[in-house]
């Protein structure tokens, strides 16, 4: 009889993850359909804690899961490395050029002047006709 502290980890999701992990590319949480990435990540981490899967840190924010450590090491070793680029911090990231640099205008550059919004519109995407 199983006690309350042991988890058999035999659900359909756990068994599916173990079978997907057998492939040479393994899997990431966002690639498994039918479940949310958070559900997949939690189930995969439970399998890692039990020693039934191993994880490979592909980048600081990406993890892939494999059935064997040799698969994980081979995937990380054979994966082409991206060129080092500065991390962009979303919409508040500063431009890579200075304010004083002139804009790059070529013969193919199209400059379109938009009509001003109506006087009573104070936010974008609030036009009634759209």
**What residue spans define the domains of the chain?**
12-80
Is pLDDT at 33 greater than 80 in this prediction? yes
Radius of gyration of the chain (CA): 25
Whole-prediction pTM value?
0.58
pLDDT reported for residue 90: 61
Residues 96 and 1: their CA atoms lie apart, in Å, by 63
H-helix or E-strand spanning residue 66: strand 62-66
* Pair 72, 54: CB distance under 8 Å: yes
Secondary-structure class of domain 12-80 per CATH:
mainly alpha
Is pLDDT at 13 greater than 60 in this prediction? yes
Nearest Cα to Cα of residue 15 among 55, 43, 35? 43
Nearest Cα to Cα of residue 17 among 49, 52, 51? 52
Is pLDDT at 20 greater than 90 in this prediction? yes
pLDDT reported for residue 92: 65
H-helix or E-strand spanning residue 47: helix 37-50
pLDDT reported for residue 113: 85
């Amino acid at each position: 009889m199983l006690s309350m502290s042991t988890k058999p980890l035999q659900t359909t999701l756990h068994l599916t993850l173990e079978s997907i992990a057998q492939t040479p590319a393994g899997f990431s949480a966002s690639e498994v359909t039918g479940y949310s990435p958070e559900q997949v990540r939690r189930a995969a981490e439970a399998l890692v804690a039990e020693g039934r899967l191993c994880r490979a840190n592909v980048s600081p924010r990406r993890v892939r899961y494999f059935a064997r450590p040799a698969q994980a090491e081979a995937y990380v070793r054979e994966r082409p490395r991206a060129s080092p680029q500065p991390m962009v911090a979303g919409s508040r990231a500063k431009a890579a050029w200075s304010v004083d640099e002139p804009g790059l205008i070529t013969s193919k550059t199209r400059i379109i002047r938009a009509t001003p919004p109506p006087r009573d519109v104070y936010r974008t995407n609030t036009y009634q006709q759209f």
